[in-house]
Amino acid sequence: MHLIILSDTHGLLRPQVAEHLKTADAILHAGDINSQAVVDKLSAFAPLYVVRGNNDKDWAGAIPHDLTVTLEGVRFYMVHNKKDVPADLSGADVVVFGHSHKYLLEEKDGLLWLNPGSCGPRRFHQEITMMMAELTDGTIRVEKI
């Protein structure tokens, strides 16, 4: 399964990102989407799993604060801000979060921690990044884009 992992698009879906989305079997978005229009565009590419970010206001009331989803035997726990990750992550294999706009791929205590960074408007002088992942038989291989 080919997975695209995004966060902090802040209302901007770049053409370069859309090109990668064409290959997606599923999309994870860790919040700060900023508009229903972006959700609709993302949903047109592949099944979308999304959590609400701190900038997702009234329009995003139906989007969950956190979400657990299993894809190809890999269990993902998603939340926008890392500080909102619960202490008990039993059963999770991967934690996906955003908010900081800083790319992170770290294995810690048997969990894979992923922050795809931001592929929306450039902020805080951070690079523009996202992730692609391949899921096969309960394993995950992540690539920085």
Tokens for 33, please give them: 């989407």
Tokens for 100, please give them: 């900081």
Mean pLDDT of the chain: 95
CA dist 93 to 69, 77, 102, 129, Å? 10, 8, 21, 22
pLDDT digits (tens, 9 = 90+) for 78-136: 999 999 999 999 899 999 999 999 999 999 989 999 999 999 888 777 899 999 999 99
